[in-house]
Amino acid sequence: MLNFWLWVIGLTALLIYPVGKLIWVISVRRLQRKLQRELSDTEIEGQRSRAFFVSVFVSLVFSALYNLSTIGFPK
């Protein structure tokens, strides 16, 4: 069981940064297209903090499901 959770935490740690960056870029571009203007620095930072907050949950869920399918359910 400990092995399963160590792999989940490890994979989550490796995925947080790239997933957060991807979500951030997509959300900034979407907001720029919606507002039809360049975003200010505070708006960009707000999108960045929101993106990395979301990336923690996305990475954790993906990591748990991936390890569940490869390692199996922890006993």
* HEC readout, 44-71: HHHHHHHHHHHHHHHHHHHHHHHHHHHC
Please tell me the distance from the alpha carbon of residue 58 to that of residue 33, in angstroms, as a whole number: 24
pLDDT at 71: 86
What is the chain's pLDDT, residue by residue, as a tens digit (75 residues)? 888 999 999 999 999 999 999 999 999 999 999 999 999 999 999 999 999 999 999 999 999 999 999 988 877
pLDDT at 40: 94
pLDDT at 54: 97
